[in-house]
Amino acid sequence: MRSRVCCSIPALLLALLLGACQPHTGTQPPNGRGATPPVPRVRVGKVLRLNRAGLLKLVRQGNKSGLAALVPVANRSGGWQHAIDSQGNQFRVSPGGMIVADGTPRPGRQPASVANVAYYFAQAYALMAAKFRRQGLKIAVEILDLPPGDPHVKRAQGALCKLFARLGIRGVVRKKLYRNLVGVAHRVHAGARLTNYVHGFAITAPLSWQVMAATGGQLSPDETIMAFSLPRGSEKKIQANLLWTTRTWSKTSRTASLALYARTRLLTTAGSRIKSQKLATPARLGATLAYTVEPVKVRGKRLRSLQLFFAHQARVHHLNLLLGPDTPPAPPRAALLRLLTTFQTVTPPNPCR
């Protein structure tokens, strides 16, 4: 059984920038004058378990240059190897130590990190080369969101900024891209740091929380929604869903004004019972209002809801925690309060200036 072989090694050094890597697709003509020799079978050696996926090195081929994602400990192996990095990402390593990503979308993957930026860089280009452009751009944006102190992160960001310039992703187009992504994530020690580029704030969520595609009807131009599913421990069942809606708000954050806003924005259905709640939210959020609403119907299901409102620096936030009828409310509520302690207003980074 033949393995898929991706380009010759010299060509692969530049393919990360050009997106030209293609799989080996079929049989070879028989040996003979002018015939292409058969591709040798790829043998994978020992599995490399890496604390850091690799490094990014500038490689030149004639008058062209590009960043190569390399694993230094594998560059003298003489054969192909399989590697797993500290975030569980799996990839192959060529005889020259080159990271060869598979270009396959993985919805449950962890976000990009400083330690494994080399893998994510290779995978972003591999996804785009395989015509998964949105998934590739999402990883690219995660890399651009990383703190730039690491030299390999800076190299990756420089290369991606050049790619964005070639693709015309600047100005209004860049804003639309970040608006569509809403919560741009990167891996931190405590979990996943998500930045809302539209409204300028960041939160740190547990890695087990899954970011979902938000559905809430037609959004206004000044409104965004981040949606999460909260799993129930090791059972991997959905315990709750959280919708975090933010919009620009020109009014002051006086309690009376916030209360008026909350009354018009509460998610309710016919027969809902609404009760005011007292929550120990961080003082820096200012005045907060919280309500339990039950039942509420969402897509035909009867659920319970904890809804919280706060206004901060000309933004008003509406958090809606949706619980199943049999879900104990205490753990999701505690998780929501922990999430609020990580809230920060930020000026989103833009290394592509």
How confident is the model over 46-71, as a mean pLDDT? Answer: 89
Query: What pLDDT is recorded for position 63?
Result: 81
d(CA 340, CA 353): 31
**Least confidently predicted of 42-56, 91-105, 147-161:** 42-56
Per-residue pLDDT, averaged over 114-129, amounts to 98
What is 203-268 written as a DSSP string? EEE-TTSEEE----SSPPTTEEEEEEEEE-GGG--EEEEEEEEEEE--S---HHHHHHHHHHH---
* pTM for this entry: 0.82
Structure tokens at 219: 């959004």
Taking the C-alpha atoms of residue 109 and residue 99, their distance in angstroms, rounded to an integer, is 18
Pull the structure tokens for residue 89.
């990402």
Measuring CA to CA, which residue among 272, 274, 265, 283 is closest to residue 319?
A: 265
Band of residue 73 on the pLDDT scale cut at 50, 70, 90: confident
Domain residues of the chain, as ranges? 9-169, 189-345
**DSSP single-letter state for residue 172:** H
Q: Tokens representing 119? A: 């893998």
Query: In this predicted structure, what is the pLDDT of residue 217?
Result: 57
Least confident of 212-221, 238-247, 255-264: 212-221
Q: CA angle, corner 159, sides to 155 and 160, nearest 5? A: 115
44 vs 97, residue with greater confidence: 97
Measure CA of the first residue to CA of the last residue in the chain; give whole Å. 48
Tell which CATH architecture fits domain 189-345: 3-Layer(aba) Sandwich (3.40)
User: Do the beta carbons of residue 182 and residue 225 sit within 8 Å?
Assistant: yes
Give the percent of the chain with pLDDT over 90: 66
What per-residue confidence (pLDDT) applies to 12? Answer: 36
Render pLDDT for 234-245 as a digit per residue (tens, 0 to 9). 555 668 999 999
